[in-house]
């Protein structure tokens, strides 16, 4: 194994683990301490502005409707999500963020924004282009290799 392969492997694993730990720590120490990372990502998928169907959100998260139903029920009890029946199709269930949910969304979005800016603000234009091309190739590899969508 070449030195490059070992270094890249170590950096990818370490970066992935660090992001998860930082995100977890930020949640536990912040005002969102009653949320898990999975719940925050569910809030992120629901989005800020309009009611969405449970089906749409479960497809975006690539989880089953049953798994999303469990997550939404918890978020409902915690006051982050509102749920109602569809107006056109009473069988569909619509969900949206409450004010508290929108605050959680903005806090999580700000966390990601800080992370991205900390990464790219120290790069020149050429380095940014190399980073983008490299991440696109890595992303495409995982999607093709593991049959991921989106």
The residue ranges of every structural domain in the chain are: 3-145
What is the per-residue pLDDT for 150? 58
Domain 3-145 has CATH 1.10.10.10: yes
For position 41, what pLDDT does the model report? 93
- How far is C-alpha 134 from the chain's CA centre? 21
**What distance in Å separates the CA atoms of residue 28 and residue 21, rounded to the nearest whole number?**
10
pLDDT at position 111: 86
| Whole-prediction pTM | 0.82
Query: What confidence score (pLDDT) does residue 64 get?
Result: 96
What per-residue confidence (pLDDT) applies to 1? 57
CA–CA–CA angle 115, 119, 120 (5° rounding): 120
**Nearest CA among 23, 29, 16, 32 for reference residue 105:** 32
What is residue 29's predicted lDDT score, i.e. its pLDDT?
81
d(CA 110, CA 51): 22
**According to the model, what pLDDT value does residue 68 have?**
97
Task: Write down the pLDDT at residue 117.
Answer: 94
Q: What is the rounded distance in angstroms from the CA atom of residue 106 to the CA atom of residue 110?
A: 6
Please report, in tens digits, the pLDDT of each residue of the chain (150 residues total): 578 889 989 999 999 999 888 888 877 787 888 999 899 999 999 999 999 999 999 999 999 999 999 999 999 999 999 999 988 888 889 999 999 999 999 998 998 899 899 999 999 999 999 999 999 999 999 888 887 765
Backbone angles phi, psi at 31, to 5 degrees: -75, -5
């Amino acid at each position: 194994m070449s030195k490059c392969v070992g270094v890249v492997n170590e950096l990818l694993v370490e970066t992935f683990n660090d992001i998860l730990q930082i995100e977890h720590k930020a949640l536990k120490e912040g005002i969102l301490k009653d949320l898990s990372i999975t719940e925050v990502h569910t809030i992120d998928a629901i989005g800020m502005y309009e009611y969405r169907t449970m089906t749409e959100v479960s497809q975006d998260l690539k989880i089953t409707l049953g798994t999303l139903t469990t997550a939404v029920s918890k978020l409902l009890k915690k006051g982050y999500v509102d749920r109602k029946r569809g107006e056109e199709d009473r069988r569909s269930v619509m969900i949206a963020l409450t004010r508290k949910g929108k605050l959680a969304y903005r806090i999580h979005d700000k966390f990601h924004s800080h992370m991205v800016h900390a990464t790219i603000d120290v790069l020149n234009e050429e380095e940014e282009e190399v980073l983008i091309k490299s991440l696109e190739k890595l992303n495409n590899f995982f999607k093709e290799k593991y049959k991921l969508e989106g």
